[in-house]
């Protein structure tokens, strides 16, 4: 597929186990073709991931703009952290790497920020004003903060200290599975995390994404927070849609994203 319009952008979501992509209509927030997934190479070094991303681009015969959601702090296209990726990424100019590999204009955004942006533009947070906290619950706890339509990037609030450890080591969905916790048991842990978030940022709305959000009804009774808590709507498409949407707003400064009308 060849895109001649900025509104149609290839969204790519780089994950620990899979790298997914699909063309996205960034005005409507929907996929234009079925998403395609390729297993993440191991080790997931910059060169090998770039090869996989290039394979996705070729799959869609894409020659337009690309937005990539990346599991790390990203500043002006440069990777700054490596909590859940190969440490060889630290200091890598990912935007330059992927642009050279694909021959396309590429924009990079933190993966949790991509999911949060998608939910605010097209999902559970659309038309919301005030402060929204989006938490993606999976192998870790990814976070995105959007205040009156403006994204505050790279918050990484899954790393705050809770019970002497990073919060995601205590309350992520991976911990529930590893320790064989019941949903209520895990829900009480997760509630502690949300209560800490309320002390820090006072959100008006909390949107839960990731695999555990599909089971919100199994642990909602354990949540005792002031803000309204809702499940994400875009599910597995949030990362793709948000990465594409962020790329569509590339004329904005890297550190802020203004919510657009849809």
pLDDT digits (tens, 9 = 90+) for 18-27: 999 999 999 9
Domain that holds residue 16: 8-110
Residue 253: pLDDT above 90? no
pTM (2 decimals)? 0.90
Task: Using pLDDT thresholds of 50, 70 and 90, give the confidence band for residue 44.
Answer: very high
Angle in degrees, CA 201, 202, 205, rounded to 5: 110
pLDDT average, residue stretch 170-186: 98
> Per the structure block, which two tokens stand in for 34?
């079925």
- pLDDT of 131 strictly over 90: yes
**Residue 254 predicted with pLDDT over 70:** no
The string over 128-147, giving b where at least 16 C-beta atoms fall within 10 Å of a residue's C-beta and e elsewhere, is beebbbbbbbbbbbbbbbbb
Residue ending a domain, choose from 110, 139, 155: 110
SS3 248: helix
Same domain, 105 and 195: no
Confirm whether 118 is domain-assigned. Answer: no
Q: Which residue has the higher pLDDT, 249 or 213?
A: 213
Across the chain, mean pLDDT equals 93
pLDDT range class, residue 83, cuts 50, 70, 90: confident
Considering the domain architecture, whether residues 106 and 132 belong to the same structural domain is answered as no
Residue 182 in tokens: 């019941």
Q: Both 102 and 135 in a single domain?
A: no
**In the listed set 110, 140, 175, which residue is the last one of a domain according to the structure?**
110
Q: How many domains does the chain have?
A: 2
Three-class DSSP category at 11? strand
Q: Is residue 46 part of a domain?
A: yes
pLDDT in tens, 87-121: 999 999 999 999 999 999 999 999 999 999 999 99
Among 110, 144, 178, where does a domain finish?
Answer: 110
Both 66 and 88 in one domain: the answer is yes
Query: Quick check: is 212 in a domain?
Result: yes
pLDDT at 5: 57
Residue 178 belongs to domain with CATH number: 3.30.420.40
- 89 and 150 belong to one structural domain: no
- Confirm whether 119 is domain-assigned: no
Q: Show contacts of 81-89: CB within 8 Å, 24+ apart.
A: 81/156, 83/140, 83/159, 84/16, 84/139, 84/140, 85/16, 85/44, 86/43, 86/44, 86/45, 86/46, 88/45, 88/46, 89/45, 89/46
């Amino acid at each position: 597929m060849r895109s001649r319009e900025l509104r149609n952008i290839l969204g790519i979501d780089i994950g620990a186990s899979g790298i997914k992509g699909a063309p996205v209509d960034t005005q409507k927030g929907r996929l234009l073709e079925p998403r395609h997934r390729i297993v993440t190479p191991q080790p997931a070094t910059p060169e090998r991931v770039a090869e996989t991303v290039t394979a996705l681009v070729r799959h869609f015969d894409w020659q337009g703009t690309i937005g990539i959601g990346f599991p790390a702090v990203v500043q002006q296209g440069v990777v700054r952290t490596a909590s859940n990726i190969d440490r060889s990424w630290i200091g890598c100019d990912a935007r330059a790497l992927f642009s050279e590999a694909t021959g396309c204009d590429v924009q990079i955004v933190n993966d949790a920020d991509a999911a949060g942006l998608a939910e605010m533009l097209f999902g559970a947070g659309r038309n919301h004003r005030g402060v929204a906290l989006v938490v993606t619950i999976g192998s870790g706890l990814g976070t995105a903060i959007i205040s009156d339509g403006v994204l505050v990037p790279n918050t990484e609030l899954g790393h705050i200290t809770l019970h002497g450890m990073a919060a995601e080591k205590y309350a992520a969905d991976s911990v529930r599975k590893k320790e064989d916790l019941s949903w209520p048991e895990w829900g009480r842990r997760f509630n502690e995390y949300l209560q800490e978030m309320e002390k820090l940022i006072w959100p008006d709305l909390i949107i839960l994404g990731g695999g555990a959000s599909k089971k919100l009804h199994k642990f909602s009774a354990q949540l005792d927070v002031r803000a309204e808590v809702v499940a994400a709507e875009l599910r597995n498409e949030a990362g793709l849609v948000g990465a594409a949407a962020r790329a569509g707003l590339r004329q904005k400064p890297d550190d802020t994203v203004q919510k657009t009308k849809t």
